[in-house]
Amino acid sequence: MRKRVPLRTLYILLFLAGACLVRLGAVIAEPPTPDTKKADQLREDLRQMIELARDRVFPALVNIHVVSVNYYDGKEHKSRSIGSGTIVSAEGYVVTNYHVTSKGKKFKCTLSDKQEISATLIGEDPLTDIAVIKLNLAELKSPASQLPVAKFGNSDDLQVGDHVMAMGSPLALSRSVTLGIVSNTERVFAGSSEEDAEDMELEEGQRTGLFTRWIQHDSLIHPGNSGGPLVNLKGEIVGINELGGNSMGFAIPSNLAKLVADGLIKDKAITRSWIGVSFKPIEKTGYDKGVLVNSVVKAGPADQAGVKAGDVLLLIDGQSVTVRFPEEIPPLMKRIAEVAVGATIRVAYEREGKPGQAEITTLKLEKDRGDEASLRSWGITVEEITERMFRENKFETREGAYISSVRTGGPGQLAEPAIVGGDVLKSIDGEKIGDLHELIKVYEKIMQSDPLPENLLIEFNRSGKSHLTLLKPKLDENEPPPREVAKAWIGVATQPIIDKLAKKLGHPDDLGYRITRIYPNTDAASSPLKVGDIITSLNGEKLRPRGMQDSGLFARAVRKLKIDESAELTVLRDKSKEKLTVKLERTRLTPEEARRARNQDFELTVRELTFFDRDDHRWDETVEGVLVESAESAGWAGLGGLQSDDLILKINQHEIKDLKAYKKAMKAIAKEQPQRVVFVVLRGVQTRFQFVEPEWKPNLPEDDKKAPAN
Amino acid sequence: MPRLFRNMAVVTLIIVVSVGSLRADDTADYARVLTDVGPAFVTVKFVLKMEGQFGNRESEAEITGVMVDAGGLVLCGNTRFGSPRMMRSIGGSATPTDIKVLIGDDIDGLEAKVLARDSELDLAWVQIKKPGDRKFACLDMSKSIAPEVGQRILALRKMAKYFDRILTVSEGRLAGKTKKPRDLLVPTGLGGLEPGLPVFSASGQIVGIAVIQMPEDEELQGMAFTGIGRDISNGLILPTMEVVKATARAKEAGTKDKDEDDEDTKKSSGASNKKSKEMKANDEDEKSDDGDE
């Protein structure tokens, strides 16, 4: 249902889209149907209206590239996605969906003139799935120039059948428009026997459908359209596209979106009241007025005021209330939410045929999902305990931090007893942990201590039981891979010459190993050996391979000899045999044994260049650098276009000759913290300049210490 | 009829006596091997870090090794540390980290590192980092035997942590010998033969080390792989002399690597025998560079 586009699916969908284009070509080729002047006029009028509407909103459309961080498997994981948005003010505020920005750490927006500038998150409202980001206007080529701005229309004026256009970046294809009509103006995803409006979640653990009646339309939308505008033919935003599928789209009405966006721009958050009840239409209750109290949150405001599940509310603050259908629930929820936090709501109800009254003092409605963080050196991810989480997990208190996942092989898992996902961390070395933010402070303090404590006494709660364990914090260090024992080696590649091949070559009695390559810069290269020579014996022992299963026999026989000694080879060359003496050298370092360096800022792992890397790439000794082993796709190096197998030649002004030079260069760059780092790499046979724009973080040993701002 | 009964009784007695004496031998053999070499068996715990196209993974593992040098050198099977060849085939690499050697009832373990590995032979050597003056009980590989086909052989294995890692003995026989890809002994009937662990004769002399032998990629062409899975999974025994030679090479390689690392540091800092204060400072810079790795 979500409309963010994972990039990897794009190509498959493009293929399908290609198939559609082919079919469209066939339709166009058919002869036109007869038309009348009236039809022509209508078509022309519609075309002009569409153009007008398009031109009023299209320039304000932005394509939002998001780098998100998700927390699972005991660590953070970066990913990239794309959504849409619309500039709604000259100051650069852009309205989009919460599910586009949620978990976002970095935002890049492509404007209609193809300029790409960064944006900052202003605020998010998970309950309506609306978010606002602000363009960093200083990055514009002409900062003083006027930004194109789109205007909100009145979504209450929309009627079923009205023409609407969906604009956005379907499948990450920027600046796209589709046309359709409004199919329903008050769609809710509730009313079935299994689901109530409050059950709808776009992200796990976060309710989305409490206040919204969506505009259903048939303007084609795809993943990537999320956050993009639904536009009427006057060129006004009447909705924010949120969901789609099977030729149906669903948009948040502009009146709700504008109200929330204005609130976010003003206060960065939306404050709402909560009374702790859920409602159900009275349709099947036998009542003809009122609304059924479906459930009451234990110890919540309504519960404390004496309201019970099964009551039928008739009046709220003196005004009658009747909910016959699910579509009428969101406006009621919105009405209650809009009451000032801490105010008193007077309700009149009927319970088992008897009237009753209650005064409910509202509390602040909290978001369902809390902040998250990764404590890398402990191998765990943690989450804030929200009111909803506390209630649904039946925790005794909200104190502590929820362990959302544990890294396999990390300190949390190695502790005895091990910490597991679902535990609640209560104290560390006797210090109580009130909430996630307190935990992060304690974590930072511990991880900055030198030396690190041997063990931490962790108190945690699991299923109502209080446990103690010892956790050994550990910095994420890179240990070198084990080295192979060096053995004797002759720098040649060979293939076995078996019986049939030997016969065909005219020397049926001389089996052996034919040299297929002599590695450069080896003792073999300076020996009399030549490609095409057939080695028939080693130190007097005949070599008689029986099939391909004996391919490695010669090399194995060499490895049994001693390094730096000599071996006598009998070689068949031009049908005559000669004896050659070759020096045995050490086996060369393999890529698997090569030393590595991982840079946490750039999320980049490189390794030293080995003999076999040079041979694979046909690089001679003059080529120097370090090889990229992996670059996290959403890490700064990955976003800058560095790829596995790139050979890094230069970083900014630093020549990279080897791993040591690389580490020195990266250390200097980390100290300097430039806005842009230029990596000159050799990819295939071409050099490339890759521009990496790191987001420098506080200069701390760990880069995971800040919980997401919220 | 009475004669028949008498004959049957004699036969039964002979059977009972022979079975009884066989059981007594087994008990003595098992007890001897457990007493003589049991203390050299240790537990090696580590975290295997894997990186590659599949992302980053870590997994905690525990294997049994055998101490082969009183200075804290432990012999293990190499495959469990992440076979480089296998990892290459799936586009990744594996590095064992956080290695600990647990001796006897110890639950904390002594910090250790992989000194060297021989992927071809499927052997790896783990060295305790700070053995101090401690002398560890170790396996004497000089007292080895080359058994004949058909002879009884014994293998020791530690049970899992849940079972307090107790040592058990399993028994089999030597089923054959092969010369490809090198001299190897082929066992039969040994349940739970664990790579990297020694196999003994019934009299307690070491026969060799259990290994996994994988053909090279090109050697698997032309149907050479048919039936090889069964042969590999049954386990093979690398004769002791090969292991002794390989261990000597590993020790040498471990020393050489250390020397080379030291030499690299000296070269890059330009240090001479008489270091100036400035040069010492350079050395310290290099050390801190390495710490970034």
At residue B77 the predicted structure's pLDDT band, cuts being 50, 70 and 90, is: very high
Residues sharing a CB contact under 8 Å with residue A176, sequence separation 6 or more, in sequence order: A167, A168, A169, A170
Which of B57, B119, B181 shows the shortest C-beta gap to A484?
B119
d(Cα A184, Cα A196) in Å, to the nearest integer?
Answer: 19
Question: How many angstroms separate the Cα of A276 from the Cα of each of A297, A302, A339, B57, B165?
Answer: 5, 6, 14, 43, 54
CB of B147 closer than 8 Å to CB of B204: no
| pLDDT for residue B291 | 35
pLDDT at A190 over 60: yes
Q: Which range among A194-208, A475-489, B198-212 shows the weakest confidence by mean pLDDT?
A: A194-208
- Residues on chain B touching A590 (C-beta within 8 angstroms): 84
pLDDT at A32 over 60: no
For residue A185, with 0-12 CB atoms within 10 Å meaning exposed, 13-18 middle and 19 or more buried, which class applies?
Answer: buried
Q: Which range among A649-663, B92-106, B244-258 shows the weakest confidence by mean pLDDT?
A: B244-258
At residue A431 the predicted structure's pLDDT band, cuts being 50, 70 and 90, is: very high
pLDDT digits (tens, 9 = 90+) for A577-597: 999 999 999 999 988 889 989
In the structure encoding, which two tokens stand for residue A90, read together?
């000259």
At residue A135 the predicted structure's pLDDT band, cuts being 50, 70 and 90, is: very high
Residue in chain B lying closest to A549 (CA): B219
Nearest of A560, A663, A593 to residue B257 by alpha carbon = A593
Which of B87, B116, B293 shows the shortest C-beta gap to A485?
B116
pLDDT at A704 over 60: no
**How many angstroms away from the CA of A485 is the closest CA of chain B?**
6
What value does the mean pLDDT of chain A take? 88
Best probe of the A interface among B118, B241, B293, by most A CBs < 10 A, is B293
| pLDDT for residue A23 | 37
Residue whose structure tokens are 């932005």: A62
- Give the number of beta-carbon pairs within 8 Å between A and B: 114
Residue in chain B lying closest to A643 (CA): B53
In the structure encoding, which two tokens stand for residue A40, read together?
């022509």
Q: Which range among A625-634, B35-44, B58-67, B215-224 shows the weakest confidence by mean pLDDT?
A: B215-224
pLDDT at A656 over 80: yes
CB of A221 closer than 8 Å to CB of A170: yes
**How many angstroms away from the CA of A596 is the closest CA of chain B?**
7
| pLDDT for residue A603 | 86
pLDDT at B94 over 60: yes
Q: Please check whether residue B88 touches A, CB under 8 A.
A: yes
pLDDT at A348 over 50: yes
- Residues on chain A touching B47 (C-beta within 8 angstroms): 409, 414
Interface of B with A in 143-182 (CB under 8 A): 181-182
| pLDDT for residue B259 | 58
Nearest of A547, A549, A542, A461 to residue A509 by alpha carbon = A542
Nearest of A245, A47, A11, A293 to residue A163 by alpha carbon = A47
pLDDT digits (tens, 9 = 90+) for B148-184: 999 999 999 999 888 999 999 999 999 999 998 999 9
pLDDT at A414 over 60: yes
At residue A118 the predicted structure's pLDDT band, cuts being 50, 70 and 90, is: very high
pLDDT at A33 over 80: no
Please answer yes or no on whether A553 and B95 come within 8 Å at the CB atom: no
At residue A450 the predicted structure's pLDDT band, cuts being 50, 70 and 90, is: confident
CB of B84 closer than 8 Å to CB of B96: no
| pLDDT for residue B49 | 87
- What letter represents residue A438's amino acid? E
| pLDDT for residue A410 | 85
Catalytically active residues of A, by annotation: 99, 129, 226
d(Cα A706, Cα A695) in Å, to the nearest integer?
Answer: 14
Which of A550, A629, A663 shows the shortest C-beta gap to B289?
A663
pLDDT at B218 over 50: yes
Best probe of the B interface among A495, A592, A626, A664, by most B CBs < 10 A, is A592
DSSP-derived 3-state class of residue A185: strand
Q: Please check whether residue B268 touches A, CB under 8 A.
A: yes
pLDDT at A10 over 80: no
| pLDDT for residue B270 | 34
Q: Which range among A449-453, B63-67, B123-127, B149-153 shows the weakest confidence by mean pLDDT?
A: A449-453
The whole model's pTM is what? 0.75
Residues sharing a CB contact under 8 Å with residue A300, sequence separation 6 or more, in sequence order: A274, A275, A276, A277, A363
- Residues on chain B touching A546 (C-beta within 8 angstroms): none
pLDDT at A691 over 90: yes
Q: Please check whether residue B95 touches A, CB under 8 A.
A: yes
Which of B53, B57, B293 shows the shortest C-beta gap to A597?
B293
Please answer yes or no on whether B221 and A414 come within 8 Å at the CB atom: no
Q: Please check whether residue B224 touches A, CB under 8 A.
A: yes
